[in-house]
Amino acid sequence: MSPRYPSSHVLYRKLSRDYPRIVRGEGCYLFADDGRRYLDGSGGAYVVNVGHGVTEIADALACQASRIAYVNGTAFTHDAVEEFARELAARCPGDLDFVYPLASGSEAIEAAMKLARQYWFELGRGSKHRVLALSPSYHGNTLLALSASSRAQYQTPYRGWLVDVVRAPAFYPYRCNCRGVPPLCRACTGDAIEDAIVREGADSIAALVAEPVGGSSSGVSVPGEGYWRRVRDICNRHDVLLIADEILTGAGRTGTWSACESYGIVPDIMVLGKGIAGGYVPLSAVVAPERLIDVIAKRSGALLHAQTFSHHATLCAAGVATIKYLTENRLVERCARMGAVLHAQLQQLRSLPYVGDIRGRGLLAGIEFVADKNTRSSVPRAAAFAETFAGAALDLGLIVWPNAGQLRDGTGDLAMLAPPFIIDEDQVADMVTLLSRALEQTVNQVESRR
């Protein structure tokens, strides 16, 4: 019998379902104790890029832990963090040279926003304290990161604890009247961001935090070619720091090391996570330029964001091993190549019922489900379409990531795909076949409930 609440002492992420017990991972597959095999179509939570069971990374972890696992980052440095910072900075664009390693994406976003605020404060411009974020968006579950996110279902229980954040509409062509076709609306050009800055006053806004390519909250909505150059110019003119949330898109997921690369822009702060350690340990990082850090170095002398497990030796060693594995096996290039295969194969799903749009970049794809393809009307939330679809896929042996409620009215259903970069063409074909079968089962279930 599969473990579930309350038969186990584990406080599970969800309390109303059975959990297959995974005993082994290899390549693109997970294996359960009952012998079932699952094709990992989402890399877990967009994390597993190098694949499961990479002994080189496991060995690096063991080696570091046997030598020195942890030292206090306020008192000491060590080889692992020095090498991790050097390797990561070498792959980040422009002048992003200084790396602050942490454990989770949420705390790294928190640290990045605190860095932006501290920078302006120490420059004597204390009025610049507000954050500008896009809607829809998701940046994490710690309170400041959750405040920046635009996900009502996550925020509602904590509404009184969250800070006020300035909002601008995200690039979401499928849901815009312009549909991403010129003449573009102000959301799709980036001009809506300038509208928000002017409306609220640039002297009050410290930073814009945004994902260069949309994550789960917009189903991998991809902005047009000139969007980020326009936004970069807007931020420059209004003295607003640009924080690129590359937790999901970084480490090669969109076919380049960072999604920003493909747009030819350099953010003021970049946040990475998930794929920089391939899921072998929890690891994230804030990367910033000397022009910001030097202001703090000459005044207070420290980023005011202390974390017990920042600069952690074992975590950093896993990061080094993962970055080297990605590089030596040319997996980012493989991601770009296999991404083209994935998106070509996914097009055959467009004609199926409820499939409104399929979009993405690299080995990151989103499928948006709608009740009516012509009007783009949402499936009623009570149908739990995305969750039902993910459950049907899991029963068939395919892992996908469901996302729901991204639209302003609380509706919206997405299935997200982010397989390991080592996936091959046969596995892509298997995944698309299983997606089709899962959709057929979901449609039957949803329509039988009417």
Q: Where are the CATH 3.40.640.10 domain residues in the chain?
A: 56-328
The overall average pLDDT reported for the chain is 97
Q: pLDDT by residue (tens digit) across 384-438?
A: 999 999 999 999 999 999 999 999 999 999 999 999 999 999 999 999 999 999 9
Tell which CATH architecture fits domain 22-53+330-448.
Answer: Alpha-Beta Complex (3.90)
Q: Where are the CATH 3.90.1150.10 domain residues in the chain?
A: 22-53+330-448
With contact defined as beta carbons under 8 Å apart, do 87 and 316 qualify?
no
With contact defined as beta carbons under 8 Å apart, do 422 and 332 qualify?
no
Q: pLDDT by residue (tens digit) across 268-313?
A: 999 999 999 999 999 999 999 999 999 999 999 999 998 999 999 9
Q: pLDDT by residue (tens digit) across 269-281?
A: 999 999 999 999 9
Buried b (16+ CB within 10 A) or exposed e, 148-166: bbbbeeeeeeeeeeeeebb
With contact defined as beta carbons under 8 Å apart, do 282 and 103 qualify?
yes
Give me the pLDDT at residue 440, please: 98
Q: Burial of 284 by CB count in 10 Å (0-12 exposed, 13-18 middle, 19+ buried)?
A: buried
- Pairing relation of β-strands 413-417 and 365-369? antiparallel
Is pLDDT at 153 greater than 90 in this prediction?
A: no
Q: How far apart are CA 164 and CA 130, in angstroms?
A: 8
With contact defined as beta carbons under 8 Å apart, do 386 and 428 qualify?
no
Two structure tokens written together for 286: 């804030």
Query: Topology of domain 56-328, per CATH?
Result: Aspartate Aminotransferase; domain 2 (3.40.640)
The residue count for the chain: 450
